[in-house]
Chains A and B, each alone.
Chain A
């Protein structure tokens, strides 16, 4: 399920004084191409395993939208050795728990377990990666589950109802055009053959990066990986996503009717992917604009001018150029146009006058605290290391991030604001009761 909220906090502040070093991450690659990253950490008697498959809704096309996410669900519904229900039952019997999520870019499986159960987890994963069985009966009942997941998202959050059409307008050609959950009619029509092809193409060991952190030795992880995973054959590399979203050359606007007390407003700008050099400056800009109550937009629009009841923004790591999105709910009695105008005024200020050294230093201090949050737990470690490996191409970049953030200057922040926050580059969405006015 795609998360509305926001960038995984990759923000690895200033790593100088932190305990963890690049050398603490050990790696090996199996003969079938599956890469393992391992962090030994005996602070608690638990361990985890995060499997990052490079498949998401960007690998779909119209007619099978939502299939990546549906497949995520099907991975829990039985394989050769552990049949229907047995994956979860076995894991929980051994004290483990799991979850999984799908985004536009990746599908990630997360297992959390007592370190003593590590071999069972390898057996379970090896079984479903090598020989998943896609039982048509399970497909039907699971279809109901994801339809319920889609519906409960829409039922409980106006943001879901607004962000889907907004994304569709911002991306006309690139597959970020459709929602991760899929179109309702596509969801009702996925075919067995689609699922089987998906499994063979994308669930190959060479399309996956695995991170293991916790109370287990590297040698043991290696032994288990060789025993349970290495025999699974590699597959040809999945087809490339060739579509590049053409340059947006004019503002686009989207209106959604829904009975709400106050209008919801979204503004989205095209921005580059995680590997781009502007990633760091944009990330800092994100915090400057909406991070905390002293941020520019909260303090101006929510507190002083009282035009918005709440405002936040998001910029997540991605493989292809993505969106920098603002989300705001108007304050009582305020027209959304006035709020929209005020948001542009704040962006203009950054473009014209830049930001202060003090503001930049504030964000660098916050990044350091975010970093501590991330390395304080074994789950934070696995999540970050895996994300860097997958999105930035090398987990070692996580340890370069401090230097890269520190290198960002006030001039860089002003430059990226000017470059991306332009009228022709934006898509604006409004959700409100009366769309006729």
Chain B
């Protein structure tokens, strides 16, 4: 394969914003609120006879407290049976219809995604209602789930790529809730019970603050009536769970290097990062364009230098992970253990070059064309459109953002780009995570900042 998808993919949220190529407009949709506060988005799409649902709840890892993994397991356990259906029966019914329903939690929110044949909508929507409103958190099923998760957590330590992000967030955000470990660790997960799940569910799954989007082959009028009936009985929560993520994020005062030792590593997998931006940053689109050039596509400065010119790695890239109240900027790549130093040096050199040389007109035009040209396929399917609408809800933007995207991209000029670089791309106090063989690379690590060494097999305690 020519490239690693996850490296080149760019912003998590790029999907949402790369809009309006060649006059792309968001198709018409309808938005309304039930008396209990639940917000519903509907968009008819009749190309294929399927319906996609995307729901979002304010129930992500930022609410885990000291029970890391709680939000994630609660989301998974929503499918462990409902008032009317056992877990086995629920799976059997969905599988028989060829329908998919998945539930998950991320850093800030939890969600549900579903896709099913239009003709099965009554049955599947009823099941979705049961999953969201009437989960039973069966003890036996939970015990099995937990056991599987504990094995999965061990397995992830066999893959540096799977764990490095968690280490980095903890290093960058420290005690801020954005540093919370999404899936938890062996100790915290082992301690969880269904009572914890029930408590978390009661506190955080609530109609006020949540949204459900449906896109696909249906009549909006009928769908509105159906959803209103299904979700009207969902009771408001006692009190809102508070803006925990609103607490200030402290900026690192110096460069730190977290070296995660993996004895059998042949490569060094690394992230170099710094504080990023919040999703509602007014420069969000401009930052995306500049990052595209720096590390967001195949010919980006980073990939060009580390892969194409030097053959040090299969892929190198950068991205801004933007959440509601802040975020991170990361450069990520990997290289053979023995080329750790040249690879890190080159990455830093490219960052320095971005600051010293900036970009020229040709490069800026290329990045703008690319961002615009790659946009429309991201909103081609009902699932993508349903997902977009829940993002609009969560990050509080509307179709003008999509419809004006091309204009906003075109509005970026060289002066503004220069300003974006100096304002948002870090120069110093960088934070490093290196996963590799410590005895071979510890000396090198010391070049870049204050080093702390941990074992990949060790439990991540507070602050590691």
What is the interface of chain A, defined by CB distance below 8 A to chain B?
Answer: 1, 3, 17-19, 43-46, 72-73, 76, 85, 88-89, 92-102, 112-114, 116-117, 140-149, 151-152, 154-158, 258-262, 291-295, 299, 302-303, 306, 309-310, 329, 331-332, 358, 361-362, 365-370, 372, 375-379
Contacts and interface: CB of A to CB of B under 8 A. Distances in A.
Given A95-B374, A293-B91, A141 B311 contact: yes
B312 A148 contact: yes
Contacts of B362: 93
B269 to A, nearest CB: 8
Given A145-B313, A156-B161, A261-B151, A112 B374 contact: yes
B374 A292 contact: no
A123 to B, nearest CB: 16
B264 A329 contact: no
A299 B311 contact: no
A376 B334 contact: no
A151 B339 CA distance: 13
B336 A92 contact: no
Interface of B: 1-4, 21-24, 47-50, 88, 91-92, 94-100, 115-117, 144, 147-148, 150-152, 154-155, 157-162, 263-267, 269, 297-299, 304, 307-314, 334-336, 362, 365-366, 369-370, 372-374, 376-377, 379-382
B151 A294 contact: no
Nearest to B381: A376
Q: Which of A19, A151, A377 is packed against the most chain B CB atoms within 10 Å?
A: A151
A205 to B, nearest CB: 21
B21 A88 contact: no
A88 B311 contact: no
- List 6 A-B pairs, minimum CB-CB distance, nearest first: A95-B373, A144-B311, A261-B154, A1-B1, A369-B98, A141-B311
Contact of A372 (B49, B314, B366, B376): B49
Contacts of A95: 21, 369-370, 372-374
Residue from B4, B21, B299, B313 whose CB has the most chain A CB atoms within 10 Å: B299
A301 B4 CA distance: 33
A152 B435 CA distance: 13
A379 B150 CA distance: 37
A369 B298 contact: no
Given A72-B2, A101-B2, A365-B96, A44 B380 contact: yes
29 contacts: A85-B304, A89-B366, A93-B369, A95-B21, A95-B369, A95-B370, A95-B373, A95-B374, A97-B373, A99-B3, A141-B311, A148-B311, A151-B336, A152-B314, A152-B334, A258-B264, A262-B154, A292-B91, A294-B88, A294-B91, A294-B92, A294-B95, A294-B96, A299-B91, A331-B151, A362-B96, A372-B48, A372-B50, A377-B380
A120 B370 CA distance: 14
Nearest to B45: A376
A360 B94 CA distance: 15
A299 B94 CA distance: 14
A262 B151 contact: yes
A331 B147 contact: yes
A101 B147 CA distance: 36
Nearest to A367: B98
B2 A116 contact: no
Contacts of B311: 140-145, 148
Given A293-B95, A368-B117, A144 B148 contact: no
A1 to B, nearest CB: 4
Nearest to A69: B1
Nearest to B368: A95
B1 A101 contact: yes
A367 B47 CA distance: 18
Nearest to B334: A152
A116 B95 contact: no
Contacts of A379: 377
A343 B310 CA distance: 47
Nearest to A117: B373
Given A92-B298, A372-B48, A97 B370 contact: yes
Contacts of A293: 91, 95
Contacts of A19: 47-48
* Residue from A144, A291, A368, A378 having most chain B Cβ neighbours under 10 A: A144
A362 B297 CA distance: 41
A125 B382 CA distance: 32
A113 B22 CA distance: 12
Contacts of B335: 148
A400 B155 CA distance: 42
B366 A93 contact: yes
A155 B366 contact: no
Contact of B377 (A44, A302, A365): A44
